[in-house]
Amino acid sequence: MSVMQAAAGPSGTFKRLAARLRGLTGKAIGDYSMIAPGDRIMVCLSGGKDSYTLLDLLLSLQRAAPVPFELIAVNLDQKQPGFPAEVLPRYLESLGIAWHVIEQDTYRVVRRVIPEGRTTCGLCSRLRRGALYRHASENGITKIALGHHRDDIVETLFLNLFYGGRLKAMAPKLLSEDRRHIVIRPLAYVPERDIERYARARAFPVIPCNLCGSQPNLQRVAVKRMLAEWERAHPGRVESIFAALRRVETAHLADPAAFDFRGLDDLRLAAAPMSEADEDALAEQLEIGERVERTL
């Protein structure tokens, strides 16, 4: 019995869901050249539904992949009070794969530095990223796989729009600022609702985060709520927004660093004289446009 069938059984509904998620994950890996032959991929496992699903799908894809690659599951134990430290090791042992737990008390650092009531996610993520990058450097890791999904990417777009004044989201594949690490997000095409269904069917031993999960006023929570309301009123809107991130037309935005607006003058061709037929067609279109405007 395969890893994915172990908990869910042979349900046809689950098989279709699993096939859909494998297909979306495989497509993202192919579209962004996420995995190369011989890669040692560190799968960052937090204990949440997203990272469990990521590891599960990568294990499934690994068995049928046309190129060999290695998976190493890594968890960062941040020493949160009440964290069930035995859950992940027991689960990973049952899979029979390579794994490692990094122990670093980031919880106490965050609680000491961040005032009560303020958002802890920024500092927490920086500390967590530093620990994971350091482990990757020391252990010959070539790719770092994170469990961010399609909805995370769209939410980040709006967080940057509303609070940062930037047109920026999460890249499916990126080079770290120090140019030493490649980060990949194989679930970039996968909707969160499908991950929730998959995680329930697989009965993953999900561990809640009590460091930031209890902060109800996070900006990300507000954006998630906004997108959920949009999706209820207009199904498919989140998918459309994500599709827009894959079809960016910099010439129709306003960033002079991203597009050479000054150079348009050199590219302009001298206007050729319009033929009589073209003039008639243009006049007809203008007349139609005026009639439409009068009816509005």
Mean pLDDT lowest for which of 29-43, 59-73, 113-127, 151-165? 113-127
Cα distance between residue 126 and residue 196, in whole Å: 26
265 domain-assigned: no
262 domain-assigned: no
Cα distance between residue 21 and residue 189, in whole Å: 9
Q: Give the pLDDT confidence score for residue 153 in this predicted structure.
A: 98
* 14 alpha-carbon distance from chain centroid: 23
From residue 160, alpha-carbon distances to 155, 188, 220, 256 in Å are: 9, 18, 10, 19
**Mean pLDDT within 42-53:** 96
40 domain-assigned: yes
Instruction: Give strand ranges (E) for 111-190.
Output: 143-145, 173-175, 182-184
Q: For the segment 118-146, what is each residue's pLDDT rounded down to a tens digit?
A: 565 665 677 778 889 999 999 999 999 99
244 domain-assigned: yes
Whether pLDDT at 86 is above 60: yes
Other CB atoms within 10 A of residue 282 CB: 11
User: Which residues constitute the domain of residue 37?
Assistant: 5-251
End-to-end CA distance of the chain: 64
185 Cβ partners below 8 Å, 6+ apart? 28, 145, 146, 147, 148, 149, 153, 170, 171, 172, 173
221 Cβ partners below 8 Å, 6+ apart? 215
Q: What percent of the chain has pLDDT over 90?
A: 65
What CATH number does residue 141 fall under?
3.40.50.620
Mean pLDDT lowest for which of 3-7, 111-115, 175-179? 3-7
Q: Give the pLDDT confidence score for residue 184 in this predicted structure.
A: 98
Mean pLDDT lowest for which of 1-15, 71-85, 141-155, 271-285? 1-15
37 domain-assigned: yes
* Global confidence as pTM: 0.82
| Number of domains the chain contains | 1
* 3-state helix/strand/coil string of 70-88: EEEEEEEECCCCCCCCCHH
Q: For the segment 264-274, what is each residue's pLDDT rounded down to a tens digit?
A: 888 877 656 77
Token pair for residue 180? 């030493």
